Amino acid sequence: MTGHETEGNVQRGSFHVPGFRAAAAASGMRYKNRLDCALIVSDGPAAAAGVFTRNRFSAAPVILCKEHLAASRGTARAVLINAGIANACTGEEGLRRARLCAQHAASVLGIAPEQVLLASTGVIGPQLRLEPLESVLPGLVSALRPDGWLEAATAIMTTDTVPKTAWARAELGRTSVTCGGMAKGSGMIAPDMATMLAFVATDARVTSDVLRFWLGEAVARSFNRITVDGDTSTNDTVLVLASGAADHTIISDPTSSEGAAFGRVLTDVCLDLAHQIVRDGEGATKFVSVTVCGARNRERAARVAHTIATSPLVKTAVFGGDANWGRIVAAAGRAGVDFHPEGVSLYFDNVCIFRNGRPVEDDDVEEKASAVFRQKDIHVRLDLGEGAEEDTVYTCDFSYDYVKINADYRS
């Protein structure tokens, strides 16, 4: 990842969103000598919405976020994030500590506790250490500044190798608004450890309902396209806050032209962050888009695409630069979708290697396919030949380093 790639009009690097400030600090809770805490604060009450893990073992900060968003009727003033300890599987004591942590942040900021949202990432099991968090909070608050996002993005990393930010502008009627955010996560292969977190802010004036509507859509098309259905960690969290600092009439209809324009920019930012997570996947050396097209409906396409994109055999072949189409069609065949094999064709970029259920026998097709697999970015397209719907899932390869990172994680 170069850090300079973009998706459409989305930019990366430093940014600011009117109405928001961010900061980072080093608490020493688990990591030594590195930033491990981030704080995002809205100058006034912001509309807020969240999408959370569906794991039965939801972490304490996830439970707290849901409670606070309900109690505050979809508003929030601050988000406090720590890296190193996930505060997951920690029982009542974990939830008690999360509450104390939110209360402490609220008192330092002079706001109500339910206006504070929390997120944690790191090792499952240990209790959150409150003392280090509490001792850095005053410094965190005084360090808040409009362009603090990149530092905050650095603080929330665990096995990530680069901080991930994305931002874009959109015209809502005659008003230009900004939508910007940060994310952490080490690849779709392993969301149940990596913990995917994303925090997006905008100065658009939208109701909580509009925010919730478009966050659901944006996540479905971005973060949920880099993970298997339900394959979520104990801590996965996506939060979006809207300060309303922009000077336009409040958007209360998600399907109005302004509402749709807002949905697009939110989706663009989420999709860019999602791609960055895949590119920085644990041990990843390649980025693979898996599109399944020609499907009777989108659900069938998604199911086949997910099965291909999560197959260890496909991912190790991509790592080895081996255009092993047999593993791809075999993965498709076990996806639990009753397509007809004789209708299936497979493309690597624009090279057709498998057509109507049989390998293409041109002399140079293997060489062309191998050339595609030597690229850093690979587009796999499987046509089911049964309809007009499609879906795309993004994945990375499966390397020695994935094993190394995960065999040694806790030592």
**Residues carrying an active site annotation:** 195
- Rule CB under 8 A: choose which of 145, 173, 312, 362 binds its own copies: 312
Q: Does 89 contact its own copies by CB under 8 A?
A: yes
From the CB of 283, what's the least distance to its own copies, in Å?
9
Q: Does 111 contact its own copies by CB under 8 A?
A: no
- Rule CB under 8 A: choose which of 167, 199, 214, 354 binds its own copies: 354
Q: Does 367 contact its own copies by CB under 8 A?
A: no
Q: Does 400 contact its own copies by CB under 8 A?
A: yes
Secondary structure of residue 381 in the 3-state scheme:
strand
Q: What share of residues in the chain are helix, strand, coil (percent, to 5)?
A: 35, 25, 35
Contact window for its own copies (CB under 8 A) among 3-11, 96-104, 107-115, 190-198: 190-198
Which CA distances in Å does 291 have to 149, 294, 341?
33, 10, 17
Q: Does 311 contact its own copies by CB under 8 A?
A: yes
Q: Does 411 contact its own copies by CB under 8 A?
A: yes
Looking at the Cβ atoms of 202 and 237, the one nearer to its own copies is 237
Phi, psi angles (nearest 5°) of residue 316 = -70, -35
Residue 51's contacts (CB-CB under 8 Å, 6 or more residues apart) are 215, 216, 219, 223, 237, 238
Cβ proximity of 76 and 241 under 8 Å: yes
Binding mask 246-285 for its own copies (x = CB under 8 A): ----------------------------------------
Q: Does 387 contact its own copies by CB under 8 A?
A: no
Looking at the Cβ atoms of 173 and 357, the one nearer to its own copies is 357
What does the alpha-carbon distance between residue 342 and residue 344 come to, in Å, rounded to a whole number? Answer: 6
Q: Does 408 contact its own copies by CB under 8 A?
A: yes
From the CB of 238, what's the least distance to its own copies, in Å?
17
Q: Does 359 contact its own copies by CB under 8 A?
A: yes
From the CB of 302, what's the least distance to its own copies, in Å?
16
Cβ proximity of 42 and 89 under 8 Å: no
- Rule CB under 8 A: choose which of 324, 379, 386, 389 binds its own copies: 324
Q: How far is CA 410 from the centre of its chain?
A: 23
Contact window for its own copies (CB under 8 A) among 107-115, 136-144, 199-207, 337-345: 337-345
Which CA distances in Å does 63 have to 46, 91, 129, 174, 354?
20, 11, 18, 39, 48
What does the alpha-carbon distance between residue 177 and residue 350 come to, in Å, rounded to a whole number? Answer: 38
Token pair recorded at residue 9: 């009009």
What does the alpha-carbon distance between residue 407 and residue 194 come to, in Å, rounded to a whole number? Answer: 14
Cβ proximity of 384 and 346 under 8 Å: no
From the CB of 264, what's the least distance to its own copies, in Å?
31
| Encoded amino acid at 241, one letter | L
Alpha helices in 195-256, H assignment, sequence order: 208-221
Residues at the site binding its own copies, with contacts judged by CB under 8 A: 54-57, 86, 88-91, 93, 123-125, 189-190, 192-193, 230-234, 311-313, 316-317, 319-320, 322, 324-327, 329-334, 336-342, 354, 357-359, 398-400, 402-404, 406-411
